[in-house]
Structure 1
Amino acid sequence: MMTYDRNRNAITTGSRVMISGTGHTGIIKAIESEGLDAGQIRRGKTVIVEGCEGKFAPSN
């Protein structure tokens, strides 16, 4: 699955990302998108990042 961050850069499973606010970095393990449209994926907490607890919104 692919979605976009707040700067409209494409992100997908395996992308290296930084969490806004905390500065933690990690690799995207999964993007939970079942039953969601593109807007809901971008705005919702759907991204699981390796080494970070919880889910994150791609815009974070």
Structure 2
Amino acid sequence: MEKSAKDDDEIFEYDGFKVVISKEYSNMYSNLVIDWIDNSRGKGFTVFDKDASGCGSCSGGC
């Protein structure tokens, strides 16, 4: 993991949160959704593919 973004990296910022993706992989992550949850099961980031359905999506579990 890099400590800072490279010149050719893609940087997305949402509400003060930055996501840095290497340009060579950016097309692989175009459908991912990153969200923050805080509920009775815990809190943290979730990552899922908005086009995937059922088992095997990035969010894990069924």
Q: TM-score range by the shorter chain?
A: under 0.3
TM-score by length of 2: 0.27
Tell me which protein shows more strand as a share of its residues: 2
Structure whose alpha-carbon radius of gyration is higher:
2
TM-score by length of 1: 0.27
